[in-house]
Amino acid sequence: MNILIVLAHPESASFSAALKEVAVREFEHMGHTVVVSDLYRMGWNPALGPGDFDGERASADYLDLSREQEHAFANDSHSADVKAEQDKVKAADLVLFHFPVWWFSMPSILKGWVDRVFSRGFAYSTGRKYESGHFKGKRAMLCITTGTASTLYEPNGIDGDLHHVLWPIHNGILGYTGFTVLPPFAAWMPARVSTDERQAYLDAYAERLRSLDRAEPLFFHPWSDYDHSQRLKPGVAARSGVQWNPLAGQTFEESASDFAKRSHPAPPFHT
């Protein structure tokens, strides 16, 4: 199996980097091939713009980024750094994203990697989204660190349930492009716990990676659950924990309550 690890942390001695080392060690021990894109060490440019396109543009007069991405992919004229990362994604059976949660999301350098690498034509196109996405058959997983305790990310926590916080990434990036999305691994505030607790996180992550084939993917509704307006059909109760369906008699409060019962007190990503 080919593994791509995308690391987004500016400190090489960070806990995110330590978790990455665990992943490299475990996968190589299992006989898999591992490639790491360490974005800060690479000096990755996160800004999507005209520099992404070599050769003749689709339009020299107006920069329509999605049109230019599709044109560049069709004509093999993406910039060399983008093509190199796309080749890594293309070869990967599993993509792991290692990053600290900043402002309820990923660091900007990683978002910029997504903006540039998951280009139109390569990662998605008309009629090729979600379960028919270009990356169908590949798996993806987030490995995150936080600055605060797990209790803040529970259904009744002040920051909101982690599934909700990560929905734009899980659904809007990974699910959208066709990945099978595995439950995330979280190391809660590693900078503020003991050495033994940090080691427990590393050990738990190693065990998670050794048992990935047994992990149940996150649930996303299939196309057949949606109508022509891409809304859940009447009678289809939302099961994602983020959506709710008024046409099935659901309210936000009921959906959130049902999800909390399913995910509390020990969601699968807790260590």
Q: Which of 148, 151, 145 is nearest to 100 (CA)?
A: 145
Per-residue pLDDT, 251: 86
Query: What is this structure's pTM?
Result: 0.91
- Residue located via tokens 């996150």: 218
256: confidence class by pLDDT, cuts 50, 70, 90: low
What is the per-residue pLDDT across 61-93, written as a single tens digit (0 to 9) for each? 999 999 999 999 999 999 999 999 999 999 999
pLDDT in tens, 170-187: 999 999 999 999 999 999
Q: What is the pLDDT of residues 140-179, one digit of tens each?
A: 999 999 999 999 999 889 999 999 999 999 999 999 999 9
Query: Where along the chain do its domains lie?
Result: 2-216
Mean pLDDT value across the chain? 92
Quick check: 31 pLDDT over 90?
A: yes
What is the distance between the alpha carbons of residues 236 and 226, in angstroms, rounded to a whole number? 9
Q: Any idea which fold 2-216 has?
A: Rossmann fold (3.40.50)
List, in sequence order, every beta strand (DSSP E) within 69-207. 94-100, 139-145, 180-181, 185-187
Query: Distance (Å, rounded) from C-alpha 15 to C-alpha 205?
Result: 12
User: What are 91-102's pLDDT values in tens digits?
Assistant: 999 999 999 999
DSSP-based helix, strand, coil % in the chain, nearest 5: 40, 15, 40
